[in-house]
Amino acid sequence: MNVTLPRRVLLHNHPFLRTFSSSSPSPSPSKLEDQNDIRFVSLLSDIVRGNQSWKLAFNDPSISSTLRPHHVEHLLIRTLDDSKLALRFFNFLGLHKSFNHSTTSFAILVHALVREKLFWPANSLLHTLLLRGLDPKFVFSCFLDCHRKCKFLSNLGFDLLVQSYLQNRRVLDAVVVAKLMLENKLLPEVRTLSALLNGLLRIRRFIMVCELFDESVNVGFRPDSYTCSAVVRSLCELKDFFKAKEKVRWMEVNKFDLSIVTYNVLIHGLCKGDRVSEAVEVKRSLSEKGLKADVVTYCTLVLGFCRVQQFGAGLQLLNEMVELGFIPSEAVLSGLVDGLRKEGKVDDAYNLVVQVSRFGFLPNLFVCNALMNALCKGGDLDKSESLYNNMCLVNLHPNDITYSILIDSFCRRGRLDVAISYFDRMLEAGIVETVYAYNSMINGQCMFGNLSAAESLFARMINKGLEPTATTFTPLINRYCKDLQLRKAFQLYDMMIEKGIAPNVYTFTALISGLCSANNMAEASKLLVEMVEKKIIPNEVTYNVMIEGYCRDCNIDKAFELLDEMLQKGLVPDTYTYRPLISGLCSAGRVSDAKNFVDALHKQDRKLNEMCYSALLHGFCQEGRLLEALSAASEMIQRGINMDLVCHAVLIDGSLKQLDRKTLFGLLKQMQDQGLKPDNVIYTSMIDAFSKEGSFEKAFRCWDLMVTEECFPNVVTYTALMNGLCKAGEMDRAGLLFKRMMDANIPPNSITYGCFLDRLTMEGHMEEAMGLHHAMLKGLLANTVTYNILIRGFCKLGRFNEASKVLSEMTENGIFPDCITYSTVIYEYCRSGNVGEAVKLWDTMLNKGLEPDLVAYNLLIYGCCVNGELNKAFELRNDLLRRGVKLRQNFRVLHKGQCRSSG
């Protein structure tokens, strides 16, 4: 078909076409062009409705080069009766001819499709149109013109346009269209306005929500519950709670369709604004409105109570909702449980979890782990296990943190088998082994002395490729130090450094404590310096360990220097700081200074406890100053510190040594008034005192009373009574008591054997003594003291060869002689006139690094003087003076010997 087409298309005189064409953005064509336009559109209509191939037809240059957007608009209007056909032609031009359709074409087709309820293709067209980024006012004007001129009855095309803007997150453009709809008396659908208001809520345009709602209602829009809820929520977000409540009342008066949703929104807003009491009032008023609170109402209020820290009220409300059959949400349950836990009401939190777990619900994993940790810290391991079991029942799968909490808690309480079982369960659950679980188990084994098990775990961890941390090494180092295996402790420390793992304050404190326990204060002091050089700040425990070490080493002045250093660094001393200082002063014979120190601390409001005072009381009693000890005890009570069993035991022991029976019975009466019963230590002190003075009848009465009070004797008690019997020559009775002890499955110690050994050697029964000694060797109970008893026995009988053999055997068995060992033999050599051998033995003692005491010096000086070895005597005297020790006994003997020599 050949159609003559002019260069310019003429407009038709049809009034509609003329009007329609005027809306086209192109200039108004001439009349000649109108006629050609109509012919061209008719041609297009025939092609579209005919059987001819569109592709072949539009390949004709005369058609394709002439086709303009307004032609397509006219064609779409002619095809309104078949919107699917119109859509196919529209898409054909776009896809195959890359034709740029006008906005009007989009509008015509969208309205046509919506009229036929073809919403999906209409929505797709709108998404394509919006990609052009056109001004929403222009788009709306095109839609409005088409709607009016084509006389579409449905307004859904406008609703779909608003919704498309919302779907493309162009909320403000959607507002522009909605407002233009209202201006043109086109009421949007309820769902459209609801979606628009909620879109504005999402971008926090709360004032705009209120304005758009009011505009809609003013033109006759009838909102639903969700639309009303959006307005109420906006007012709450603006914190205008008074207006929010007024708005709800206005909606009620206007009989708007309000449901529980709107009131829940108001309740949520009030709770969020910490106005929970007002929210509760709203809930109470629901019944008057013919509504019932639902699960959302209750959950919102419970969370509101949690927000204002009123967990008790929240718990009460939650119980009410459970009774009504409502199941709390995980968020509500988690908030309430965690709130109760943080408030210290761990039992209430746990009981709540148990209550709701019956319905198959639990808080979230984080809250369950936190509650489990709180239960474990409080020692409720059974409850923590129950919580774990409930988690498994409701398929709330425990994670590595859950298992770490359980493993660590059971390890700290010595239930290592249970900890290991949880470790195995963790592996069975497919949770990867972590260093934290190993650290907990290593620490637990070390805490309870299972060093070999801890070493095995450490080796297993390394074999698994896990990198140890300072927390891994420190418990092992600490255990080695407590067991005085310092070489192994420092080997681990060196390994840490090699691996680039920085030791922490606890690592250094453990090592320093080990060195202090080994009386190696010089190395401990060096390590403290090294610690500071590594920029690791010593804490109170570090200083306490050092102070105790110096006090044990009798270097009280250095200990007090460290106390001053602590205070200068802002550290706070405690009872663990003061106790060794008080005890150290007392051990150095400075009990009065210790008392003054305690008084000074009291004036400074420093808190002391029973341990500190027991050290002072012990110091007074050791010096026989019982009255001052009793006075200090009275001051202690006046200062608000109760006497404990240890303090009573110290005073009772002091009164026994002073043979002050009146004070003894007074102290026992005081204990009874306090509701305290004598313990093993007190009964043993009394039995020991009565035995030493030979009052065995009293000792056995005390023994019987002890057993009656279900305070059963131990090896110390048995040994104290046997020692008294042995010294009194009651060997048979002592033997019977020994048998009784063995029958009670109480193994003897070296002191027990020493009692019998001492008596046998005193009576010269050396063969029996040696037999007992061999039995002690088999039980690994022989020590320096028992060897000294044997050596003394042989020396007393003048059997030097046997004494020398015992001395040799002693060193062969790895037991080292002390000053008393050597002094005993030296004395016998001097007594027999063999000063040369005595001096040789003296030199041996010095070469072994032993420091002679005053008694040793006196014995040898006396022996030298008696045997005419004055030069050696003076040499020893001068050596003694260099050590700062004054001669008390043998100076006269030495002077007399010098006079004889000069005479």
pLDDT value, residue 811: 77
Q: For 746-754, what is the mean pLDDT? A: 83
pLDDT of 774 over the 60 cut: yes
With a CB cutoff of 8 Å and minimum separation 6, the contacts of 67 are 44, 58, 93, 99
Which amino acid, one-letter code, is at 272?
K
Give the tens place of pLDDT for each residue, 417-445: 999 999 999 989 888 888 998 999 999 98
pLDDT of 877 over the 90 cut: no
Output the DSSP codes for 414-456: T-HHHHHHHHHHHHHTTPPP-HHHHHHHHHHHHHTT-HHHHHH
Of 79 and 865, more confident: 79
pLDDT of 26 over the 60 cut: no
Give the tens place of pLDDT for each residue, 495-515: 999 999 999 999 999 999 999
- The Cα 372–Cα 406 span in angstroms is 8
pLDDT, mean over the chain = 85
With a CB cutoff of 8 Å and minimum separation 6, the contacts of 468 are 435, 458, 461, 462, 499, 501
The 3-class secondary structure across 704-753, one letter per residue, is HHHHHCCCCCCHHHHHHHHHHHHHCCCHHHHHHHHHHHHHCCCCCCHHHH
- The Cα 130–Cα 546 span in angstroms is 79
- The Cα 566–Cα 589 span in angstroms is 25
Residues 282, 244 contacting (CB under 8 angstroms): no
pLDDT confidence tier of residue 33, bands split at 50, 70 and 90? low
Residue 357's closest CA among 369, 373, 370, 368? 368
Residues 733, 761 contacting (CB under 8 angstroms): no
Residues 174, 140 contacting (CB under 8 angstroms): no
Q: For 230-235, what is the mean pLDDT? A: 92
Give the tens place of pLDDT for each residue, 194-226: 999 999 999 999 999 999 999 999 888 888 889
pLDDT confidence tier of residue 884, bands split at 50, 70 and 90? low
**In whole angstroms, how far apart are CA 532 and each of 108, 114, 486, 645, 663?**
84, 82, 21, 40, 51
pLDDT of 387 over the 50 cut: yes
pLDDT of 902 over the 60 cut: no
Q: For 735-764, what is the mean pLDDT? A: 83
Q: Which residues pair with 34 in a beta bridge?
A: 11
pLDDT of 281 over the 70 cut: yes
pLDDT of 109 over the 90 cut: yes
Residues 5, 62 contacting (CB under 8 angstroms): yes
- The Cα 509–Cα 425 span in angstroms is 35
Give the Cβ contact number of residue 617 at 10 Å: 29
pTM: 0.65
- The Cα 741–Cα 425 span in angstroms is 46
Most confident of 35-39, 268-272, 885-889: 268-272
Most confident of 394-403, 833-842, 884-893: 394-403
CATH number for 576-665 (one of 1.25.40.10, 1.20.58.220, 3.90.1150.10, 3.40.190.10): it is 1.25.40.10
Residues 263, 291 contacting (CB under 8 angstroms): yes
**Looking at the chain, how many residues does it have?**
903
Percent of the chain with pLDDT over 90: 35
CATH code assigned to 677-748: 1.25.40.10
CA atoms within 13 A on the CB side of 633: 26
Percent of the chain with pLDDT over 70: 94
* Domain map (residue ranges) of the chain: 576-665, 677-748
677-748: same fold as 576-665? yes
Give the tens place of pLDDT for each residue, 531-585: 999 899 999 999 999 999 999 988 999 999 999 999 999 999 999 999 999 999 9
pLDDT of 474 over the 90 cut: yes
Q: Helix (H, G, I), strand (E, B), or coil: what is residue 60?
A: coil
Q: Which residues pair with 10 in a beta bridge?
A: 33
pLDDT value, residue 895: 46
pLDDT value, residue 12: 34
